[in-house]
Amino acid sequence: SVAVPAGEWHQVELRIINGGVSMGEYVIPHVGVGELFVVAGQSNSANHGEERQRVLSGKVSAFDGIHWRIANDPQPGASGKGGSFIPVFGDAMARHFQVPIGIVACGIGATSVREWLPAGSRFPNPPTLTGRVKLLANGEWTSKGEAYDMFIGRMRSLQAQRFRAVLWHQGESDANQRDPACTLPGKLYREYLEKLIVSSRKAISRDVPWFVALVSYHIPGDESSVEIREAQASLWRDGIVLKGPDSDAIKGHFRERNGRGVHFSAEGLKEHGLRWFDAVAPWLESVLSQ
């Protein structure tokens, strides 16, 4: 192993020498020592914003499970081809902590928390989209585990690098669905999200911190679900997760289509990224000071 300081990018040169003769060499031009985060949830954690964002600091990288690259949108490993909050969040963290930031984006648009559960997890009613769940003979529904397996695989691939936390942004597809039978009661949302958190921690053998945002916004006139927000906040209060931003409060011109959509506008993506920074940075400061 080689110890290098945190901060700037490092170049690593590997040489194979046999009997004083060079047999070959390999150069890794960018190796960063900094902070890593996993981002998961549904579309507003992924690439569905109105305008793609770019990294300005040069110090934010994204990982798709195999390769690293500069974290310009769209983020590898997440759904959609538009913009995300990740470049703005990463830039703010890189500037503040003066280290490179690594992001692993796992978000899948329009997913219910039910779709993120481990395979075989059962629930009485389906989400609005049923591609990642299946109906059982007894009338119950079960998760196929596809999103969960992807999520766990990404986290396991980072174990040697000890990522800091999961940033969870999801809830719209469980709140106030057009078919009321697909709406998830707050009590069950809390139960299922807690199950996901506990199961994922067990799967990677690490009690990794989670930040959970307040998320339930759809469109003007359908701007929040009291039950879903309370379920998310209850996880904060019970010490199971850390407090993420209230993204339901980011509305008006911060939403796409002049405020008429569920996804964020260019300005909204910037605001969303800064609110994640405001949630995560003070916590990380306290961790680093210990």
Each domain of the chain, given as residue ranges in start order, spans: 1-32, 34-288
User: What gap in Å lies between CA 47 and CA 269, rounded to an integer?
Assistant: 10
The β-bridge partners of 63 are: 68
The fraction of the chain above a pLDDT of 90, given in percent, is 86
Check residue 14 and give its pLDDT. Answer: 74
Question: Model confidence at 1, in pLDDT bands (50, 70, 90)?
Answer: low
The tokens for 180 are 């009321």
Q: Give residue-wise pLDDT tens across range 172-190.
A: 999 999 999 999 999 999 9
**Would you give the distance in Å from CA 32 to the centre of its chain?**
20
pTM here is 0.93
The tokens for 78 are 């997440």
Least confident of 64-68, 93-97, 205-209, 230-234: 64-68
Instruction: Say if residues 151 and 200 touch (Cβ distance below 8 Å).
Output: yes
Average pLDDT, the chain: 95
Hey, how many other C-beta atoms are within 10 angstroms of the C-beta on 130? 15
User: What gap in Å lies between CA 125 and CA 128, rounded to an integer?
Assistant: 9
3-state class of 64 per DSSP?
A: coil
User: What gap in Å lies between CA 73 and CA 28, rounded to an integer?
Assistant: 23
Instruction: Say if residues 141 and 124 touch (Cβ distance below 8 Å).
Output: yes
- Sheet with 165-169: list strands edge to edge: 68-70, 60-63, 101-105, 35-41, 165-169, 210-214, 242-246
Q: H helices of 102-244, where?
A: 146-157, 186-203, 226-237
Residue that has been written with the tokens 């997890």 in this structure: 121
Question: Helices 186-203 and 146-157, interaxial angle, to 10°?
Answer: 40
Q: What number is the average pLDDT over the span 136-155?
A: 98
Q: Is the pLDDT of residue 24 over 90?
A: no
> Nearest to residue 172, comparing CAs of 102, 126, 107, 224?
224
Torsional class of 257: left (φ above 0), alpha (ψ -120 to 50), beta (otherwise): left
Check residue 55 and give its pLDDT. Answer: 99
Find the Cα–Cα–Cα–Cα dihedral 276, 219, 197, 95, rounded to 10°. Answer: -10
Q: Give residue-wise pLDDT tens across range 183-230.
A: 999 999 999 999 999 999 999 999 999 999 999 999 999 999 999 999
Instruction: Say if residues 42 and 111 touch (Cβ distance below 8 Å).
Output: yes
**Terminal-residue alpha carbon distance, the chain:** 25
Q: Is the pLDDT of residue 253 over 80?
A: yes
Phi, psi of 87 (to 5 degrees): -60, -40
Q: Does domain 34-288 have CATH number 3.40.190.80?
A: no
Check residue 29 and give its pLDDT. Answer: 67
Instruction: Say if residues 82 and 73 touch (Cβ distance below 8 Å).
Output: yes
Instruction: Say if residues 190 and 62 touch (Cβ distance below 8 Å).
Output: no
Check residue 62 and give its pLDDT. Answer: 98
The tokens for 200 are 């994922």
Q: Is the pLDDT of residue 3 over 80?
A: no
Check residue 17 and give its pLDDT. Answer: 85
